[in-house]
Amino acid sequence: MKAILPSMVLLCFANFATAADWPRFLGPAQTGVSAETELNLNWEKHPPAVLWRYKTGSSYSPPVVAAGKLYVFHRRRNEEVLDALDAQTGIRLWRHSYATTYKDRYGYSNGPRGSPTVDGDLVLIFGTEGRLRCLEASDGSLRWEREVNREFNVPQNFFGAGTAPVVYDDRVMINAGGKDGHGVMAFSLHTGKTLWTATDDAASYATPITLDVSGTPALACLTRSHLRVLGIADGTEVCAYPFRAEVNESVNAASPVRVGDSLLITAAYKVGSALIGANSAAEVWRSQTALEGHWATPIFHDGYIYGCHGRHESGADIRCLDAKDGRVAWKSPRGLGRSTLLMVQEHIIVLGERGHVALLEVTPNAYTEVSRRKNVLGHPAWAPPVVANGLLYLRDEHQVVCLDLRPPQQ
């Protein structure tokens, strides 16, 4: 068994607004972990107040927060829409929209899946039909656009395009799924010019993450068929690991998770989980049953992995795994369904798909639920929670709700 080394460095992004913002999918460090402190987590004594609700069109896209604005991406009638709201009040500041004809072939939402990404004064969105747009954060005006599906002959994925843009320095990268070497692509952040393309893999619904591999900035991308680690400079492949269900109608949807010098990947459809060396694709361990993460990205903390297991609502639970060998430390009672997680102040906020919210202590010893708020949202609530500047943002398919986690006034 290989040891899990702690030396892999995550890449920081100086252009993101403040440490308390949540400017992209899974937060500033792409870990699902908030660095905020002094939040009110004593919900039994001080239940968090609902500050506002904002009705949206249809979407599973998580919101992001930067520089006082909350950005929510959704679909209204025949348009994909990005709304910029005042993050404190929920009042709309501006709206950017464009026409779409996307229709989901499986009867799910016709709206976008991937979250916006904010970098400094720019906001990026990647819609269901593969339209990549770069907007001015000040007013939503268009800086540049690429019609990725049309330009690169990308076939329609099961549920349309569904990952978030990833920014590093002066480039934006997407899990595109194009043929003839256009599976993963990098564009200039400021002009939209194509910088490099790589792989022939079909796209997944797993947003890539950035990392440092042996001193080289890299992108870890879980495509429909492989985990691929690519150099950010030019797309050169560092290593690859096959990871795919045997049935065709299946998806990889959870992002890779940094675990020391390794990467955790997980999927449902009887695929399970694996811990893979980030610079060699060497298998540390693999299990078909320990954790089947459908779309929720797990969280790694102090040697343990916390994640939601199960493809279907009826059999889903929360689990804790020992990261060194994949051993299951505990399983939660069932009842929250397929859930998404966020960690803050040694607690995990769990959003169940029926709109219930649970607060857990982070411990490998046992499932420890300290509070639960029922019916905060409706069904389906499939987007992960967001914490920014003392406020908790949750969304279901048709609304965003803001809860106050700031300490109660004395």
* Per-residue pLDDT at 410: 61
Give the gyration radius of the chain's Cα atoms. 20
Cβ(109)–Cβ(63) below 8 Å: no
Q: Give the containing element (helix H, strand E) for 360.
A: strand 357-361
DSSP state of 115: P
Give the tokens for residue 83: 């709304």
Cβ(210)–Cβ(168) below 8 Å: yes
In 3-state terms, what secondary structure has residue 159?
Answer: coil
Question: Considering all CA atoms of the chain, what is the largest pairwise distance in Å, rounded to the nearest integer?
Answer: 62
* Per-residue pLDDT at 332: 97
Has this prediction a pTM greater than 0.75?
yes
What is the residue-wise DSSP string for 300-354?
Answer: EETTEEEEEE-SSGGG-EEEEEETTT--EEEEPPS-S-SEEEEEETTEEEEEETT
Cβ(50)–Cβ(359) below 8 Å: no
* 410 residues of the chain, pLDDT tens digit each: 333 433 344 454 434 445 599 999 999 999 999 999 999 999 999 999 999 999 999 999 999 999 999 999 999 999 999 999 999 999 999 999 999 999 999 999 999 999 999 999 999 999 999 999 999 999 999 999 999 999 998 988 888 899 999 999 999 999 999 989 999 999 999 999 999 999 999 999 999 999 999 999 999 999 999 999 999 999 999 999 999 999 888 899 999 999 999 999 999 999 999 999 999 999 999 999 999 999 999 999 999 999 999 999 999 999 999 999 999 999 999 999 999 999 999 999 999 999 999 999 999 999 999 999 999 999 999 999 999 999 999 999 999 999 999 999 86
Residues 115 and 128: their CA atoms lie apart, in Å, by 11
Q: Give the containing element (helix H, strand E) for 110.
A: none
Q: 297-322 in b/e burial notation, b at 16+ Cβ within 10 A?
A: bbbbbeebbbbbbbbebeebbbbbbe
Domains, in order of start, for the chain: 50-404 (2.130.10.10)
In which residue are the tokens 């994640």 written?
307
Residue 396 has, within 13 A of its CA and on its CB side, a CA count of 16
* Per-residue pLDDT at 158: 87
* Per-residue pLDDT at 2: 37
Residues 237 and 148: their CA atoms lie apart, in Å, by 22
In which residue are the tokens 């049953």 written?
289
Residues 410 and 408: their CA atoms lie apart, in Å, by 6
What does each C-alpha distance from 383 to 34, 81, 269, 350, 352 come to in angstroms? Answer: 16, 17, 20, 11, 10
